[in-house]
Amino acid sequence: MVVFNLPPDSSVVSPENNTKDTYKIQEDRMSKFLQSNKKKLFITLGIIALVILINLIRNSFAQPEIHPLTKSWEKAVPNQELPQGLASMSAAYCGSCHQQYYEEWKYSTHSHAWTDLQFQAELRKESSPFLCINCHIPLQNQQELIVDGLIDGDIYQPVTRKNPHFDEQLQLEGITCASCHVRNNAVIATHENTRAPHAVVQDADFLSEKLCISCHNASAVVTPSLVCTFETGDEWKAGPYYPEKTCISCHMETMEREIVPGYGEKQSHYHAFPGSGIPKLASETTKGLNGMGIYPSPFNSTAAKMDSIIYKLTLINEFAGHNLPTGDPERFYNITFTLKNEKDSVLANQMERIGEEWQWHPIVEKLSDNNLKPKEERTYTFSYLPLKEEQLKLSVEITKHRLNQENAAYNKLPAEYPLFITIFDKEYTVEVK
């Protein structure tokens, strides 16, 4: 790299004129030695070879070396030609025939994987390398630049050129139909299909949970201060649902319906990709699944003075095939118990958290993790000793968060950006006698 920054001053010894000088000296020495004996000549030739070799090595160090991309997430899916029979690869176009699919996908988190304000905020940070985009807009057609390699293998120094096939519409669609369905210039399907007006190639293995895991499982230390940790795939493989129930059987429900209106019903998969249910836009409601079984203990509406009021709440990761929460390490649940008197003054407050805790600076390190494993259950207990006769109100709330307030502020997300949803909200009154 330094080579490019040298001033064009002849007094500066560049690797080039350095080599020339060395050759000049070598020539003079050679003619002298030629007059001497043969043994000496061989030794000299050896020395010359060594000098040349050293120079070659030195020069190769001075030049930046372009390393090829090696890790899967460093690479985009190579450029795709339009599959035969299609006029565009955009979801809106697929949706002109596969209407229902388009309507479902449009409100999914996948369709927001590029436009999401949090993603865009993080992408703009200097610490975010180019490779961030490869799981959020995976096709090369979706990317403005083509990355040919890395200077000195450094992920912050990609060698780029303009992508002549860049499709802006496709970029905006994030994880679009083509991101999952178009490979080798054809539409991939799990079954053969001869009725489609477009090329269809059957590849059930490609369209299996392996596809989901290719993005939903990354555990890599990119740099000491940048770590990718989405371990949903590993959590699933270590859990009780593997291999019978998969990402697809839980997240893409099977139903009988028409794939294209007028073509008759057949087996189909729901394409809204429901997950946490925390929307990406305040103006949208996002389809979610419920993984958490919530079981409050029976609770008496009367209590005796000087006798503890006890409330137990049992949470079970009952329906998710992985930890709760999973994926992004910033996700968490808050469980809040608040006890108030008749005047609305808070008498007691208890807050529990389910999630991971990370230190991000100066090096990334996981500090704790109490995520609920599949089928794991945990009971939280709230207790209070009433000292006098009065009416009390206990409210119990469970909220599921995408990220916390501080990080939202740090990323300058607008106030209306949805950070959490409430999944349990109960109020109990207790008459203390």
Q: Could you give the CA distance from residue 231 to residue 323 in angstroms, rounded to a whole number?
A: 9
Interface pattern 7-26 for ligand HEC (x via CB under 6 A)? --------------------
Q: At what angle do helices 15-34 and 38-62 cross, to 10 degrees?
A: 180
Region label for 326, one of left (φ > 0), alpha (ψ between -120 and 50) or beta (otherwise): beta
Give the distance from CA 26 to its chain's centroid: 57
Number of residues that bind ligand HEC (CB under 6 A): 96
Residue type (1 letter), 408: A
Closest distance of CB 220 from ligand HEC, Å: 8
Of 73, 26, 72, 34, whose CA–CA distance to 53 is shortest?
26
**Span near ligand HEC by CB under 6 A; candidates 42-50, 59-67, 150-158, 323-331:** 323-331
Output DSSP code: residue 205.
T
| Residue whose CB is less far from ligand HEC, 290 or 300 | 290
189 is an interface residue for ligand HEC by CB under 6 A: yes
| Residue whose CB is less far from ligand HEC, 143 or 179 | 179
33 is an interface residue for ligand HEC by CB under 6 A: no
Six token digits for residue 135? 């799981």
Closest residue to ligand HEC using C-beta atoms: 327
The count of C-alpha atoms lying within 13 angstroms of the C-alpha of 274, restricted to the half-sphere facing its C-beta, is: 16
Q: Residue 164, exposed/middle/buried by CB under 10 A (0-12, 13-18, 19+)?
A: exposed
φ and ψ at residue 269, rounded to 5 degrees: -120, 135
Quick one: which H or E segment has residue 27? helix 15-34
Position of tokens 């809106």?
Answer: 92
337 is an interface residue for ligand HEC by CB under 6 A: no
| Residue whose CB is less far from ligand HEC, 320 or 392 | 320
| Residue whose CB is less far from ligand HEC, 179 or 303 | 179
**Span near ligand HEC by CB under 6 A; candidates 44-52, 54-62, 130-138, 359-367:** 130-138
| Residue whose CB is less far from ligand HEC, 364 or 394 | 364
Q: Could you give the CA distance from residue 375 to residue 322 in angstroms, rounded to a whole number?
A: 9
Q: In what side-by-side order are the strands of the sheet with 420-432?
A: 302-303, 420-432, 391-401, 332-340, 346-359, 365-369
Closest distance of CB 134 from ligand HEC, Å: 6
Cβ neighbours, 10 Å, residue 352: 17
Q: Could you give the CA distance from residue 200 to residue 193 in angstroms, rounded to a whole number?
A: 6
| Residue whose CB is less far from ligand HEC, 180 or 309 | 180
| Residue whose CB is less far from ligand HEC, 28 or 205 | 205
Of 86, 110, 83, 107, whose CA–CA distance to 96 is shortest?
86
**Span near ligand HEC by CB under 6 A; candidates 33-41, 54-62, 63-71, 91-99:** 91-99
Contact 265, 256 (CB under 8 A): yes
| Residue whose CB is less far from ligand HEC, 187 or 339 | 187
98 is an interface residue for ligand HEC by CB under 6 A: yes
Closest distance of CB 407 from ligand HEC, Å: 10
| Residue whose CB is less far from ligand HEC, 54 or 363 | 363
Q: Which of residues 155-184 bind ligand HEC (CB under 6 A)?
A: 175, 177-181
Interface pattern 280-309 for ligand HEC (x via CB under 6 A)? ---------xxxx-----------------
Cβ neighbours, 10 Å, residue 320: 24
Q: Which of residues 372-401 bind ligand HEC (CB under 6 A)?
A: 400
Interface pattern 212-231 for ligand HEC (x via CB under 6 A)? xxxxx-x---------x-x-
| Residue whose CB is less far from ligand HEC, 130 or 384 | 130
What DSSP string describes 207-226?
A: TSHHHHHHHHEEEEEEETTE
Q: Which of residues 243-272 bind ligand HEC (CB under 6 A)?
A: 245-248, 250-252, 259-260, 263, 266, 268-269, 271
Q: Could you give the CA distance from residue 127 to residue 124 in angstroms, rounded to a whole number?
A: 8
What is the distance between the terminal CA atoms of the chain, rounded to a whole angstrom? 80
Output DSSP code: residue 132.
G
Closest distance of CB 427 from ligand HEC, Å: 22
Closest distance of CB 332 from ligand HEC, Å: 10
326 is an interface residue for ligand HEC by CB under 6 A: yes
52 is an interface residue for ligand HEC by CB under 6 A: no
Q: Which of residues 135-154 bind ligand HEC (CB under 6 A)?
A: 135-136, 138
